[in-house]
């Protein structure tokens, strides 16, 4: 049997030599897959860091933020990623509030609108398993930007940004509820979707998949691992 050509011309861009893959929608094994994604294979791409020029207005945003932060830019912004036509600043959690305040208040930036905070769980990223993502919009300059912050699972603390964007109040509560990220300085960090006595954070990838029946309008829906499989 011939081996596939390993020349650079035949490599897929952004895919490592030995991509780590998971199968199925959630990586679950041992039970019937009723999601319809049993044949799905997801390959983990390496971390990206985009070189200059970024293109479009992305360079202008980076230039103005670097000017606003001065010598602290390199310490605050860990990497910049341009992917699928979107710009993301990966920021150290200790500098998050400072960076957001510059993005909101600087006349050349003016990201006065936040579209919300969301969480992501990457179990394979040792020391940076939990991410908080901030989606910003400049109505003044008609621009969009994403800011991303990470923290370790062993120390799931990120400063609250409610003092900069007050609407983050409920968004941070939801991210705490579903992912377990603790937003230090939040005025009232309590669950907002799940009951107060709920055990765990349901959108983490290490949260048990199934096993909990759900009552809905008097009927009981069985847990996913007890449903009929059509495979």
What's residue 120's pLDDT? 96
Report if residue 221 sits inside a domain: no
What's residue 16's pLDDT? 42
pLDDT (mean) for 28-35: 56
pLDDT digits (tens, 9 = 90+) for 106-131: 999 999 999 999 999 998 889 999 99
Q: Specify the pTM.
A: 0.76
Does 40 have pLDDT greater than 90? no
pLDDT digits (tens, 9 = 90+) for 159-180: 999 999 999 999 999 999 999 9
Report if residue 39 sits inside a domain: no
pLDDT digits (tens, 9 = 90+) for 3-15: 444 444 444 344 3
CA distance 209 to 221: 14
Give the range of the structural domain holding residue 101, as residue numbers without chain letter.
46-201
What is the distance in angstroms between the CA of the first residue and the CA of the last residue of the chain?
32
pLDDT (mean) for 47-73: 93
What's residue 14's pLDDT? 41
Query: How many other C-beta atoms are found inside a 10 Å radius of the C-beta of residue 33?
Result: 19
CA distance 230 to 102: 54
Average pLDDT, the chain: 84
Report if residue 108 sits inside a domain: yes
Q: What percent of the chain has pLDDT over 90?
A: 61
In a 13 Å sphere around the CA of 200, the CA atoms on its Cβ side amount to 9
Does 32 have pLDDT greater than 60? no
8 Å CB contact between 27 and 204: no
Report if residue 9 sits inside a domain: no
Report if residue 18 sits inside a domain: no
What's residue 197's pLDDT? 87
pLDDT (mean) for 100-105: 98
Total of domains in the chain: 1
Report if residue 34 sits inside a domain: no
Report if residue 6 sits inside a domain: no
- The CATH number of the domain holding residue 154 is 3.30.460.80
pLDDT digits (tens, 9 = 90+) for 194-219: 988 888 899 998 887 666 666 667 77
């Amino acid at each position: 049997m011939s081996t596939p050509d390993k020349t650079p011309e035949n490599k897929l861009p952004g895919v490592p030599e030995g991509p780590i893959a998971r199968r199925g929608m959630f990586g679950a094994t041992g039970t019937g897959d009723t999601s319809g994604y049993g044949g799905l294979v997801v390959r983990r791409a390496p971390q990206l860091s985009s070189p200059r020029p970024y293109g479009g207005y992305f360079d202008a945003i980076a230039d103005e933020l670097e000017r606003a932060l001065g010598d602290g830019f390199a310490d605050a912004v860990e990497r910049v990623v341009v992917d699928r036509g979107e710009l993301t600043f990966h920021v150290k959690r200790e500098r998050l509030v400072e960076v957001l305040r510059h993005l909101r208040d600087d006349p050349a930036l003016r990201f006065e609108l936040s579209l919300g905070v969301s969480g992501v769980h990457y179990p394979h990223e040792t020391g940076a398993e939990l991410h908080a993502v901030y989606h910003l919009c400049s109505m003044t300059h008609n621009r969009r930007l994403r800011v991303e912050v990470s923290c370790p699972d062993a120390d799931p603390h990120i400063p609250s940004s409610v003092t900069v964007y007050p609407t983050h109040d409920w968004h941070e509560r939801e991210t705490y509820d579903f992912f377990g990220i603790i937003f230090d300085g939040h005025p009232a960090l309590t669950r907002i979707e799940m009951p107060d006595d709920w055990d765990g954070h349901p959108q983490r990838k290490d949260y048990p998949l199934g096993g909990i029946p759900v009552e809905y309008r008097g009927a009981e829906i069985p847990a996913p691992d007890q449903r009929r499989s059509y495979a």
